[in-house]
């Protein structure tokens, strides 16, 4: 038996070292993804169902914010116009930065004609423009 233990090809048994970190790693097994998700959701869901006491919150509509309650109409217009100008300037800067033209998907005649939707040409009025191959070819 002493000859067998000295054979270099034979794997030798490592001495068992008990370390606290090794035990923790062995205890914590990696679960499959679905089981780990199920375990997380169990914490948030309840097995017992209870009677619903209210369908909607007691005050579902928040009162409107009254920032400018006693404001003259002309002052309100100027304030809103200035906000609009700032937004437009911001869009212009961003378009120049990325070197692209601005495209409003709701008001783009090129796309409107290409996909024959008619969102830009047709409004809530009574006259409706029909968009198809023949009308696009003969304006």
Establish if 87 belongs to a structural domain: yes
Q: How confident is the prediction for the chain on average, in pLDDT?
A: 73
Establish if 43 belongs to a structural domain: no
Q: Tokens for 125?
A: 């009025």
Distance CA 92, CA 99 (A): 10
- Residues in contact with 92: Cβ distance below 8 Å, sequence separation at least 6, in sequence order: 102
Sign of CA dihedral 15, 21, 23, 27: negative
Establish if 67 belongs to a structural domain: no
Establish if 55 belongs to a structural domain: no
- pLDDT (tens digit, 9 = 90+) per residue, 103-136? 777 677 777 777 767 766 776 666 676 766 666 6
- pLDDT (tens digit, 9 = 90+) per residue, 44-101? 776 777 777 766 666 666 666 666 667 777 778 888 899 999 999 999 999 999 998 8
3-class state of residue 36 by DSSP: helix
Range of the domain at 77: 73-102
Establish if 44 belongs to a structural domain: no
Establish if 85 belongs to a structural domain: yes
Q: What is the pTM of this model?
A: 0.34
């Amino acid at each position: 038996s002493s000859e067998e233990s000295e054979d270099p090809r034979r794997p030798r048994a490592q001495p068992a070292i008990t370390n606290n970190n090794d035990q923790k790693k062995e205890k914590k097994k990696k679960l499959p993804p679905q089981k780990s998700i199920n375990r997380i959701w169990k914490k948030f869901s309840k097995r017992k169902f209870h009677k619903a006491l209210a369908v909607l919150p007691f005050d579902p509509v928040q009162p409107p914010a009254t920032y400018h309650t006693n404001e003259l109409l002309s002052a309100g217009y100027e304030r809103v116009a200035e906000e609009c100008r700032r937004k437009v300037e911001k869009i212009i800067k961003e378009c120049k930065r990325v070197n692209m033209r601005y495209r409003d998907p709701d008001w783009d005649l090129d796309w409107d004609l290409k996909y024959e939707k008619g969102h830009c040409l047709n409004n809530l009025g009574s006259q409706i423009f029909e968009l198809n191959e023949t009308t696009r070819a003969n304006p």
